[in-house]
Structure 1
Amino acid sequence: MKTYKKQFFLLLCFVALVVAACSDEMEDYRKFTDGGEISYTEKLDSVKVFTGRERLYLRGVLNADPKITSFRVYWNNKADSVVVPVNRTKPIDTLSVYINDLEENIYNLEVRTYDEELNSSIPVNITAEVYGERYQETLYNRTVISNVLIGNDLTVSYSSMDLTTGVLGTEIQYTSSNTSEIEEVYVPIDSAMAFIEDFMSGSEYQYRTIFKPEPTSIDTFYTDYKSYTPEPKLTDPPYLLNSSYPFEILEGGSRWGTPLGWIHNEAALSHDGYGALDGELFDLESGWGEPDLINAKVYQTVILPAGTYAYSINIAETNYEGADNNLDKAYFTVAKGPQLPDVSDVETSPMTLAFERVNKANGLNRLLAFTLEETTQLSIGVQTTNDAGAGRFLKINSFELNQFSKAPYLKNASAPYKLASTGSRWGTPADWIHNDAAMSHTDNGPQGAYDGNSAKWDLESGWGQPNIVNGKVYQVLFLEPGTYTYTVTIFATNYSGTRGTSDQAYFVVAKGNTLPDVVDVETAEETLVYDRVDSANDNTRILSFTISEPTKVAIGGETTNAEGVGRFLQVESFKLVKQ
């Protein structure tokens, strides 16, 4: 019993001490508040801060406190601040402020709300980074890997970038070929290529790369513009695809078809959706139960560098009559741009570079010459239009486009010769065409027509090397009409001309894409001029020839030898001059 009394006494003492302490604290509180209670305003809720260029944007939600008349944002240890008045308009308001003219740095912000009596809320603290010139100086343009321009179609390929830089994409400004106005396209960073279908050839485009330092940043950063002038992708010789009989068929029926590699407008596809092929022969035909051809166009588009060109057509058969029949028209046409002009405009269009109205009386071989002053996109082909019910046909064996060769005509034509490939001794000169027989030396792969010991152009057999049978080494040129001199300076040879019947060597100029076989050089119709090599003759050999029309020629040297015979033909230089 005594124990319980003792415990009860101790409990009373503890309660008395607590009450006394609380009384002291309340007294201190009343002294601090001058006898009043502390009044807190509601704090700003859901506070978010968004980074920017030398500024911040802060936003938060105010729920129910109607007494709030302002909020304040402090930074730099409260040395700087901004006060924002608050006008309550609804039970829940979103409050925000832009803080401008900040230096690039990391900021610790303190946000408080206030009422009219300047009672404040408890603070809300948040950290944000401001970006500026230091960040700007770290930015760089996305690297362009390539520009491919074909006609008005531009493809720009880009490298990848470090995404942690905040890169968003690329902005391109270019001149439209359709409107001549500046257009803009955006290429997101996850796209490796940009495709522009109306780029004005010959113009430049400029681009810049876009960044946001943080995904929610209120400001976008840009690199300086960088400019490019894309060079058109040139069409390689022989320029025209699928250009001779038998023409490859893209699609077709039992008789009529459509040739592969050619562009057709709808009017040209007049035979149940097919057109321009009769079997494997190129043919634009109407009448005899077939539909009329009205403004039919069949052509190819090429991009060519400056130069003079010849568009050649070999007609198989036609019944077009030129200006003798103005109801039915057919043209061979060369025009600037991605398509041919309409038939009615061929002769007057400023886009037309060359044309010929088809007339059966003019012969079957037609040639149109034209000159380009700069790299140009061209459309080259054929087009027709016919009177209702007229039976007309234009059957063509081949089309050909050639650039006239320019002086000095022959490439890599004197010592020291540039090599396309080489071994320890034997090599192959660049820019020359070689048949397999001329590549007779196995030295780091097949080699031919160059001897490293003499550093000369050389067709050589024997002394442990294979014999050469009908070996040909030459270049192909397209020449204007005129008289030419082909001069060959021999360094050394042991060929004996007509004194040796089994071993033959010739310098030859022949019409066409190749030299005639050695056994046919002296009799072939294609041969324009030849010289049989003989060590007894002077080492400077001069061959002259005349052509009366633009002509493709093969020009070079060729040899054939008996098994095991040691023969060499070493040449210091080749030269072609127009008189």
Structure 2
Amino acid sequence: MKTFKKQFFLLLCFVALVLVAACSDEMEDYRKFTEGGEINYTEKMDSIKVFTGRERLYLQGIVNADPKITSFRVYWNSKADSVVVPVTRTKPVDTLSVYIDDLEENIYNLEVRTYDDELNSSIPVNITAEVYGSRYQNTLYNRPVISNVLIGNDLTVSYSSMDLTTGVLGTEIQYTSSNTSEIEEFYVPIDSAMAFIEDFTSGSEYQYRTIFKPEPTSIDTFYTDYQGYIPEPKLTDPPYLLNSSYPFEILEGGSRWGTPVGWIHNEAALSHGGYGALDGELFDLESGWGEPDLINAKVYQTVILPAGTYAYSINIAETNYEGADNNLDKAYFTVAKGPQLPDVSEVETSSETLAYERVNKANGLNSLLTFTLEETTQLSIGVQTTNDGGAGRYLKINSFKLNQFSKAPYLENAVAPYKLSSSGSRWGTPENWIHNDAAMNHTDNGPQGAYDGNSAKWDLESGWGQPNIVNGKVYQVLFLEPGTYTYTVTIFATNYTGTRGTSDQAYFVVAEGETLPDVADVETAEETLVYDRVDSANDNTRILSFTISEPTKVAIGGETTNEEGVGRFLQVESFKLVKQ
């Protein structure tokens, strides 16, 4: 037992010596490591955020416990580059920040340390940030525009969608205001599919660019280059005026008076309990006989027309206005530039007025105003009245018409080779010509008519395996000024026999209106102005002359009916209309 205790005591002494030696070694290592003094760490920057930009970035963080901090440093490029920012502590919690400029476009690993006056530093804080530049800029593009619709001063721009991951924010438009003549700016956010501008100056150019931020918190905004665009006004299609003849369609009304569809009314014109301009289904501006006065009443439509010469015609049912014979009553048919008519008192002197006629029952029931536009123009066209206080006045109208005079050479696509709107392997249909169903007698990639690809000529042809043409009409509609005209047709080939045959009839015709008379009625119809019955025995150049004494809408072309099962053709080299 004594021997065991002695051995155990010796073992404990050995362990104690080992422990003492180990501690001595550690103290020596610590003295070496702390030579020159104790290590002091400053407080690290907390809540660090980095905001990207164009060839720069902005870094921000906070310190809240260490009053000894006098600066902080941001390192990048593996500490090859850095920036030092002095710090003056003023609050328990201070926000520290720095802009780092002149950085190349790249992704950066940043190291942030704080320091005190003795250059003791904090432990590092690492954060990654991306800097943007020309590479990102070169990927940007303007938001695609689907359409521009300009009606008067109202511009609607429709946009397509974009990839939102590009950082697109919206589009900026610069335009000239029609109200102030100054350059205005309009912003369209990316989630808006359309821009609506109500004061755009027609005929002017607008500039637009698209705005981006590569990241939502970026400190810099990127822009595409400006692009310019001149919107073309949306033209009003013929017949230009809506709801313009008896019976007029009623928008709303009472037991007698109503308001017509498609017309603009100022408040003064709505004199019959909030309704105006209709008596039943007849257009009527009326005062007296228990109805209120009409003072500066205006009823009109607004249109946008291309350059050209126009005729505004009105057929009056009845009126008791007396023109200049009674200066207390004034009624006008007016055409004026802009989105509304001038006041009644200014019709004859306004610079906006293009044409007017003062209504006078002594002048008959038909009025005609002609005017010329040098460029695409917004117009207001209608009627306006002011009656003598308490006087009974009426202006009842059957119809309004607006037509553009056709310009020389009048007929379009009127000489070989003819342009085709559709075609098959042989037969086709020429552009700009109106065809009734009977003229579309060839089934060749759909219905075709009035063109033969074999001869490359205008052609009304039946037989030889093709269906009959019975009352086939092919023509154009023109609106002509008064004068004498010559209609010349050069025939390429025909086998029609004129009056030598009875069952076959082919005519070149000019007739008043919007269509040709039926073949059977050409020679007797009131609307026929001139005709020539086709006969192969005659000269191939056919000349027809006619005179009109007033602006007239005419149909001009050719028409045929062939004998049952007989092969007939009428091939035309050219059509020509000339005013003498």
| TM-score band, normalised by shorter chain | over 0.9
The answer to whether the 8 A contact 1:470-1:518 is kept is yes
SS of the aligned residue for 1:232 comes to coil
Structure-2 change in CA distance of 1:467 and 1:68 (3 Å): same
The answer to whether the 8 A contact 1:456-1:572 is kept is yes
Residue number in structure 1 paired with 2:41 = 40
Structure-2 change in CA distance of 1:4 and 1:61 (3 Å): farther
| Alpha-carbon separation, structure 2, partners of 1:411 and 1:2 | 137
Structure-2 change in CA distance of 1:319 and 1:439 (3 Å): same
| Alpha-carbon separation, structure 1, partners of 2:62 and 2:241 | 70
Please say which of residues 367-376 and 460-469 is displaced more in the overlay: 460-469
Residue number in structure 2 paired with 1:162 = 163
Structure-2 change in CA distance of 1:16 and 1:474 (3 Å): farther
**Post-superposition shift, 1:246?**
1.6
Structure-2 change in CA distance of 1:541 and 1:64 (3 Å): same
String of CA shifts for 1:397-434, please: whole Å, max 9, x gaps: 11111111111110111111111222233222111111
**Post-superposition shift, 1:83?**
1.9
**Post-superposition shift, 1:349?**
1.2
SS of the aligned residue for 1:227 comes to strand
String of CA shifts for 1:350-379, please: whole Å, max 9, x gaps: 111111111111121111111111111111
SS of the aligned residue for 2:8 comes to helix
SS of the aligned residue for 1:117 comes to coil
String of CA shifts for 1:266-289, please: whole Å, max 9, x gaps: 222222222212222211122212
String of CA shifts for 1:104-151, please: whole Å, max 9, x gaps: 222221111122222211111111111122222222222222222221
Q: Which runs of 5+ in 2 are unaligned?
A: none
Q: Does 1:426 align with 2:409?
A: no
Structure-2 change in CA distance of 1:14 and 1:176 (3 Å): farther
Structure-2 change in CA distance of 1:6 and 1:79 (3 Å): farther
**Post-superposition shift, 1:5?**
7.9
| Alpha-carbon separation, structure 2, partners of 1:462 and 1:162 | 61
Residue number in structure 2 paired with 1:4 = 4
SS of the aligned residue for 1:371 comes to strand
String of CA shifts for 1:523-552, please: whole Å, max 9, x gaps: 222111111222222111111111122111
Structure-2 change in CA distance of 1:536 and 1:90 (3 Å): same
**Post-superposition shift, 1:172?**
0.9
Please say which of residues 284-293 and 4-13 is displaced more in the overlay: 4-13
**Post-superposition shift, 1:2?**
11
**Post-superposition shift, 1:500?**
2.2
Residue number in structure 2 paired with 1:370 = 371
SS of the aligned residue for 1:492 comes to strand
SS of the aligned residue for 1:513 comes to coil
Please say which of residues 374-383 and 453-462 is displaced more in the overlay: 453-462
| Alpha-carbon separation, structure 2, partners of 1:154 and 1:29 | 81
**Post-superposition shift, 1:157?**
2.1
Structure-2 change in CA distance of 1:64 and 1:459 (3 Å): same
| Alpha-carbon separation, structure 1, partners of 2:27 and 2:251 | 100
Please say which of residues 119-128 and 444-453 is displaced more in the overlay: 444-453
**Post-superposition shift, 1:440?**
2.3
Superposed CA RMSD: 2.4
Structure-2 change in CA distance of 1:160 and 1:7 (3 Å): farther
String of CA shifts for 1:243-281, please: whole Å, max 9, x gaps: 111222222222222211222222222222222122222
String of CA shifts for 1:16-40, please: whole Å, max 9, x gaps: 5896545543443334434632221
SS of the aligned residue for 2:517 comes to coil
String of CA shifts for 1:195-252, please: whole Å, max 9, x gaps: 2121111110111111111111100111111111111121121111221112222222
**Post-superposition shift, 1:60?**
0.4
Residue number in structure 2 paired with 1:530 = 531
Structure-2 change in CA distance of 1:357 and 1:120 (3 Å): same
The answer to whether the 8 A contact 1:43-1:62 is kept is yes
**Post-superposition shift, 1:9?**
7.5
| Alpha-carbon separation, structure 2, partners of 1:134 and 1:246 | 67
The answer to whether the 8 A contact 1:30-1:36 is kept is no
String of CA shifts for 1:87-117, please: whole Å, max 9, x gaps: 2222112111111122222222111112222
Structure-2 change in CA distance of 1:519 and 1:45 (3 Å): same
| Alpha-carbon separation, structure 2, partners of 1:491 and 1:295 | 61
Please say which of residues 259-268 and 218-227 is displaced more in the overlay: 259-268
Structure-2 change in CA distance of 1:560 and 1:4 (3 Å): farther
Structure-2 change in CA distance of 1:561 and 1:111 (3 Å): same
| Alpha-carbon separation, structure 1, partners of 2:501 and 2:519 | 14
| Alpha-carbon separation, structure 1, partners of 2:238 and 2:15 | 109
Structure-2 change in CA distance of 1:25 and 1:420 (3 Å): same
| Alpha-carbon separation, structure 2, partners of 1:6 and 1:334 | 133
Residue number in structure 1 paired with 2:267 = 266
| Alpha-carbon separation, structure 2, partners of 1:435 and 1:253 | 42
Structure-2 change in CA distance of 1:147 and 1:13 (3 Å): farther
Please say which of residues 534-543 and 554-563 is displaced more in the overlay: 554-563
Structure-2 change in CA distance of 1:17 and 1:565 (3 Å): farther
| Alpha-carbon separation, structure 2, partners of 1:378 and 1:558 | 38
List aligned pairs for 1:210-225, cutoff 5 A. 210-225=211-226
Structure-2 change in CA distance of 1:557 and 1:27 (3 Å): same
| Alpha-carbon separation, structure 2, partners of 1:210 and 1:181 | 23
| Alpha-carbon separation, structure 1, partners of 2:358 and 2:161 | 53
What TM-score does the superposition give when structure 2 sets the normalisation length?
A: 0.94
SS of the aligned residue for 1:271 comes to coil
Residue number in structure 2 paired with 1:334 = 335
| Alpha-carbon separation, structure 2, partners of 1:503 and 1:25 | 129
| Alpha-carbon separation, structure 1, partners of 2:148 and 2:465 | 51
The answer to whether the 8 A contact 1:172-1:208 is kept is yes
Please say which of residues 366-375 and 34-43 is displaced more in the overlay: 34-43
**Post-superposition shift, 1:52?**
0.7
Structure-2 change in CA distance of 1:85 and 1:14 (3 Å): farther
SS of the aligned residue for 1:21 comes to helix
Structure-2 change in CA distance of 1:379 and 1:426 (3 Å): same
Structure-2 change in CA distance of 1:165 and 1:493 (3 Å): same
**Post-superposition shift, 1:15?**
8.0
| Alpha-carbon separation, structure 1, partners of 2:16 and 2:562 | 132
String of CA shifts for 1:459-506, please: whole Å, max 9, x gaps: 223333332222211111111111111011112222222222332221
Please say which of residues 464-473 and 551-560 is displaced more in the overlay: 464-473
String of CA shifts for 1:336-361, please: whole Å, max 9, x gaps: 11111111211111111111111111
Residue number in structure 2 paired with 1:286 = 287
The answer to whether the 8 A contact 1:506-1:533 is kept is yes
Structure-2 change in CA distance of 1:40 and 1:436 (3 Å): same
| Alpha-carbon separation, structure 1, partners of 2:329 and 2:88 | 83
Structure-2 change in CA distance of 1:576 and 1:98 (3 Å): same
The answer to whether the 8 A contact 1:413-1:575 is kept is yes
Residue number in structure 2 paired with 1:14 = 14
Residue number in structure 1 paired with 2:394 = 393
| Alpha-carbon separation, structure 1, partners of 2:17 and 2:379 | 106
Structure-2 change in CA distance of 1:502 and 1:205 (3 Å): same
**Post-superposition shift, 1:330?**
1.3
Please say which of residues 565-574 and 17-26 is displaced more in the overlay: 17-26
SS of the aligned residue for 2:123 comes to coil
SS of the aligned residue for 2:407 comes to coil
SS of the aligned residue for 1:135 comes to helix
**Post-superposition shift, 1:563?**
2.5
**Post-superposition shift, 1:578?**
0.8
| Alpha-carbon separation, structure 2, partners of 1:185 and 1:364 | 50
Q: How many residues align?
A: 579
Structure-2 change in CA distance of 1:373 and 1:12 (3 Å): farther
Percent same amino acid at aligned positions? 92
List aligned pairs for 1:378-457, cutoff 5 A. 378-457=379-458
Please say which of residues 382-391 and 32-41 is displaced more in the overlay: 32-41
Residue number in structure 2 paired with 1:576 = 577
The answer to whether the 8 A contact 1:249-1:260 is kept is yes
